[in-house]
Amino acid sequence: MESHKLQINVTVNGQARSSQAGQSLDVLLRELQLDSRMVVVEHNGVIVRRPDLVETRLDEGDNVELVHFVGGG
Amino acid sequence: MWVEGNEVLTNALEIGGRSFQSRLMVGTGKYADNPTMVQAIEASGAQIVTVAVRRVNLDRSQDENILHHLSPDKFFLLANTAGCYNADEAVRYARLAREAGFNEFVKLEVIGDQKTLMPDVVGLVEATKVLVTEGFQVMAYTNDDVVTALRLEDAGCAAVMPLASPIGSGLGLLNPYNIRTIKHRLSLPIIVDAGVGTASDACVTMEQGVDGILMNTAIAAASNPVAMAGAMKLAVEAGRLAFMSGPMPRKEVAKPSSPTKGMLDQT
């Protein structure tokens, strides 16, 4: 249980970020004030489907990419 | 539309099992502001609207996210893989786009040269094969080469999208012959993508018999994008209507339209 309070280093959209070990992607999105219906999450190169955001947890060195639709041709 | 009982313009465009009324597709990039973009898209009458997949800017996601401005209930969002320089990258972007949950369509771009933005046709065919296996409806942005277009058809594309001229150039339709050849040789919908600069370009392009046009810069970079969007709507409709009407053959001789008989002092 102690391990859940450990600080870990993760990368979110190329930026270093400190997070708690075991934090779910769902909570990360909320911290970033992002609506999970508006973004798509890639966790260590693997797409995480929306229903799985709650169960997918962060670990030391994880890489998260958050994408959305922007203007384009 | 203008002619009573004329079904030429009402005949729908079918792509990947879906039916669309408008033959004009528009991009959402390069607009000065979002309200202008929305007004221009509405004026264009387009149903298919392209969007790009990009990292969320963690400081200003609300402004950039297109879903805050365009309703996915009102428009068919066609995600592109713009900015991708190899097949793997394009496949990755396509998968992310599909996960957004709107549809299984992708406007596949694999760019081969940063300066000219010309497609890497080898990577394009490669990525198409992967995506088709995964159930995507692939609309492939390609050059105006008939052999590449045939390969894309064989690979299982839903539509082939040859360029009129380079992306964002506004040079118009540089090789009408190539576009006609692609249209004649393939049975897939042919949507000309990129290069249209003004309304006459759009009209001439539709007169080649293609099924539709996709454009972005021609509208977004006009001094009045909303008015230009209206012009493009009319031009695409006019070009389609003219093509379906069967234009007269070209002749390099003059032929009077008025009677030659009945002139004064004739004997």
Note the ipTM here. 0.90
pLDDT of residue B58: 86
Is B50 within 8 Å of A73 when comparing Cβ atoms? yes
Verify whether the Cβ–Cβ distance B99 to A49 is below 8 Å. Answer: yes
pTM of the model: 0.90
What was the pLDDT predicted at B5? 47
Residue B166 burial (10 A CB sphere; 0-12, 13-18, 19+): middle
Answer yes or no: B107 catalytic.
yes
End-to-end Cα spacing for chain A: 49
Q: With bands split at pLDDT 50, 70 and 90, how would you rate the model's confidence at B11?
A: confident
**What is the C-alpha separation between A39 and A64, in angstroms, rounded?**
12
pLDDT (mean) for B106-115:
97
- CA terminus-to-terminus distance, chain B: 48
Cβ count within 10 A of residue B157: 28
- Supply the pLDDT for residue B241: 94
The residue of chain A with its CA nearest to that of B25 is: A73
Closest chain B residue to A41 measured between Cα atoms? B96
d(CA B56, CA A29): 11
Q: Which of A2-11, B117-126, B139-148 has the lowest mean pLDDT?
A: A2-11
Query: What is the band of B6 on the pLDDT scale with cuts at 50, 70, 90?
Result: low
Contacts of B95 in chain A (CB under 8 A): 47
Mean pLDDT of B123-135: 98
Q: Which of B61, B100, B215 sits opposite A34 (nearest CB)?
A: B61
pLDDT at residue B266, rounded to an integer: 81
Residue B209 is predicted with a pLDDT of 96
Residue of B30, B74, B107, B251 with catalytic role: B107
pLDDT digits 0-9 by tens, A3-61: 557 899 999 999 999 999 999 999 999 999 999 989 999 999 999 999 999 999 999 99
- Bridge-partner residues for B111, per DSSP? B119
Query: Which of these, B86, B73, B178, B79, lies nearest to B138 by C-alpha position?
Result: B79
Q: CB A69 to CB B167 under 8 A?
A: no
User: Which residue among B65, B194, B217 places its CB closest to the CB of A68?
Assistant: B65
